[in-house]
A and B are shown apart, each in its own frame.
Chain A
Amino acid sequence: MAERVVITGMGIVCPLGNDVQTLWQAILAGKSGVAKTTVFDASTFPTTFDAEVKDYDLAEYTKNPKLHKDSNRGSAFVVGAAVQACRQAGIDVETTEPADGIDRGRLGIYLGAGEGSVDNDVFFAAIVEGWDTEKNEMDWGRWAKVAFARMDAMRELEQEPNMPAAHIAILTGARGPTRSCLTACAASTQAVGEATMMIRRGDADVMIAGGAHSMIHPLGLTGFNRLTALSTRNDSPQTASRPFTASRDGFILGEGAAVVILESLTSARKRGVEILSEVIGYGSSADAFRVTDMHEEGRGAIQAMTAALADAGISYKDVDYINTHGTSTAENDLIETKAIKAVFKEEAKSTPASSVKSMLGHLIGAAGAAELITCVLAIRDNIVPPTMNLIDPDPQLDLDYVPNEPRKMPVNVVMNESFGFGGQNNVVIIRRFS
């Protein structure tokens, strides 16, 4: 009999607050984490706003901030999120003699984590110095002179996408299986799903799982702006994220980190920790369609949802609430709606399906785990979070998106959906623990 997997801790650092309670209060109040970009001067970019983490202080979470001083933004955020989650789950951090009853060889890490920003000043300065505009070629000697003089070894290393997990290993002493994945916007849902599989199979008792990412930097914003994936509603940032509306014009670039502690039921019972929810299903698929577009009928999304339901051993009729990917792009919201209809059939229109991205923005690699935390809270409090800014419904999109007001209703089973560029689809299902 495979192990049952439960959630015993949660932590978050995100545009709506730097702890779980603050995030949840903000969501129930329909607040927006979106504002003018301050991480760098984006005032002349096509998009001048984003969803940033505010007032975050790493030193609140660690006795050794020095060990994390060169961190990219994602790594820095994940230190806070992981420490919060470990505290809730009673996992000791920053000690060589943990007394929490968890064998470090059976404590693993799985993050959907993004790369860090290039070291902007020197990155651009070296190109300026090296580029010969007359010959239209790079003088690598001149480039290397600036780069070798001004690039910093640790700041370069910290850009690697495996580094956020390294910081958690240092904090917790985890010696169990550790992986990082980067499947674009679906990464941290995949991390939670695969980490669940590791515990089920018996490879680990406890997994620190989630995501960390910030693409709020000049090249990140450039890339998404060139793809025309972002909203350009510069005159009204707070209403720009408007999933499932007729006037939606793109997603809002966000950043943050979210961590859940996944634990075998056996371990959680033995340690006597509070169980917040149970992870019962996971499905993963690829569209295998186009690099640039989702499959028109949502083939991959349908397959991932169907696989997750089958893994959970439940019917779509058992799902009380769908936490959608709901990015506020023309394409995603239409295709996700089609896919939900295909899977949920006659129940599609009566199953609430909302997007917290309307408030939180899109945390890219960290999005799925951040949204999963809202799913756990929806079950805890029997409240479905709203889709805010749903002011002009799109006649083609006719599901119950829970417009503009949270809804009090019994919530026992929640499906969390994440879809990524290139056709990555990951779905996790959680259930009230009993």
Chain B
Amino acid sequence: MSSSRVVITGFGAITPLGLTATDMWAALCAGRVGIDRISAFDPVGFDCQLAGQVPEYKIRDYVPKSHRKATKLMSRDIELAVVAAREAFVHAGLVTKGIDPENININPERTAINVGAGLISCDLVELAPAVAASITDGKFDIHKWGKEGLELVTPLWLLKYLPNMLACHVGIIHDLQGPSNTITCAEAAAHLAMAEAAQTIARGSSDVALAGGAEAKVNPIVMIRQCLLKRTTSENNDAPTSACRPFDADAKGSVFGEAAGLVILEDLDHAARRGAKVYAEVVGFGQSNNINPAYEHLEPDGKGIRIAIEKALAEARIGPEDLDLIIPHGTGIPADDRAEAGAIEAALGEAAAKIPVWPTKSMLSNTGAAAGALDVVAAVCAMNDGKIPAAKNCDRKAEACNLNIVNQPQEANIRHALCCSYSYGGQTAAVILRKTD
């Protein structure tokens, strides 16, 4: 980030709290919870039957006519990214081919895209008839599959499930020909994608970049994976709104969901030349690794998160006392929240007990590769509105958590905000935003 300054000039989000970033921010301020019993499939037999699901939408409303046919090749992860991308461009005042081909004001070759994406699990209902045609004596028969079942799989099936297809569909719709990447670092993916996109701008490879993440975790395979890893709460199925409890003494695990969050990152001079409104400057990124053979959890002392926060502060050239808001990863998984709280304290020292900490997953659910992007959008909204909404479901802080979790909404002049994230597996990330004057 040495050469040029990178700012946020627009954002979009589709979340369990609504179809736009505006909806999301209003709901967060109102303390609304987007978690409910799963309706995408019948979750009977699942330990956790809750999820954060996006309200109904029609994908056709979000794509230009020329791309309508291609919506058949969109898994839900791709759809969510397409919806949020459109909002982000419009919000930033950028006119792309997909928005109005007569009045394009971007340079396609100088516009990058970098999307954090998850492992897209296939639609089992779509695949089932092919499997059913491949049964011998009540069992799946690979010989029959190769001869008969396979023919029943739709020809372009694979293209729905390649993680880079989020960026490809969005790039095709809006004609983005610059550097394009897809970061697959689970729940740290969106922050890492933003870091890389900012760096493509800083090094002069692009002027504008669409960056963030999207993932649709409300799929039986994804949900069962989280259940088997004991990352979900299984005790709160009757109480969806109080189920996900980051940093709370009664936390029992996380609740997963679906969303997309994308921001427009832009070279400051480029934004100034076109008179764009600047919502925040991204001044520091930190990245590291959690090293824990128990891959599904953060290491107990949260060292990988601590290092990421320290690096981000160093890059931003600020001290811990300069932070006015922290949005932690805070999943509601007790061991991970404990480790993260410890890491924040270790990185920030005495300041950690004072800075307002506002976890969002109690309302938004844990949306995987989208999660970090939603937090950045929320932080930018908090900065621009000058307020921090109340944290939800942290009624009694967990023992050993000394963070200042905000239980009441508060007016705040937020000059610097920190967001952090980590993945099962190990990657960690921290982002620092600065309010622009």
Contacts and interface: CB of A to CB of B under 8 A. Distances in A.
A112 B57 CA distance: 33
A140 B291 contact: no
B163 interface: yes
Given A42-B146, A218-B145, A226-B154, A422 B164 contact: yes
Interface in A214-246: 218-219, 222-228
Interface stretch (B14-22, B81-89, B179-187, B351-359): B179-187
Interface stretch (A14-22, A82-90, A145-153, A337-345): A145-153
15 contacts: A44-B142, A46-B150, A124-B140, A131-B131, A138-B41, A151-B228, A153-B225, A162-B425, A169-B289, A179-B185, A181-B181, A201-B203, A291-B172, A422-B165, A424-B164
A284 B181 contact: yes
Nearest to B225: A156
A108 B185 CA distance: 14
Nearest to A285: B177
A166 B135 CA distance: 37
Contact of B291 (A113, A169, A182, A303): A169
Contact of A288 (B142, B164, B177, B291): B177
Interface residues of A, number: 92
Contacts of B43: 140
A202 B199 CA distance: 12
A92 B131 CA distance: 47
A156 B224 contact: yes
A273 interface: no
A144 B128 CA distance: 15
Q: Report, as a range, how many residues of chain B touch the other chain.
A: 35 or more
A251 to B, nearest CB: 13
Contact of B205 (A41, A144, A190, A284): A284
A194 interface: yes
Interface in A242-292: 284-292
A166 B228 contact: no
Nearest to B97: A288
In the A-B complex, list the 6 residue pairs whose CB atoms are closest, starting with the nearest: A223-B158, A44-B146, A422-B168, A144-B45, A286-B180, A124-B140
Contact of B203 (A115, A130, A136, A197): A197
Given A287-B177, A291-B172, A152 B185 contact: no
A179 B197 CA distance: 13
B181 to A, nearest CB: 5
B304 A190 contact: no
Given A128-B132, A226-B158, A286 B176 contact: yes
A155 to B, nearest CB: 9
A182 B177 contact: no
Interface in A182-227: 182-184, 190, 194, 197-198, 201-203, 218-219, 222-227
Interface string B352-373: 0000000000000000000000
B240 interface: no
Contacts, number: 281
B425 A190 contact: no
B contact patch SS: mixed
A12 B306 CA distance: 33
Interface string B118-146: 11001011011101100100111011111
Interface of A: 40-46, 67, 105, 108-109, 113, 115, 118, 124-125, 127-128, 130-131, 133, 136-138, 140-141, 143-145, 147-148, 151-154, 156-157, 159-163, 165-166, 169-170, 173-184, 190, 194, 197-198, 201-203, 218-219, 222-228, 284-292, 299-300, 303, 307, 420-424
A175 B304 contact: yes
Nearest to A145: B45
Interface string B63-86: 000000010010000000000000
Given A125-B140, A144-B220, A303 B192 contact: no
B6 interface: no
A40 B142 contact: yes
A135 to B, nearest CB: 11
Interface in B157-205: 157-159, 161-165, 167-169, 171-172, 174-186, 189, 192, 196, 199, 202-203, 205
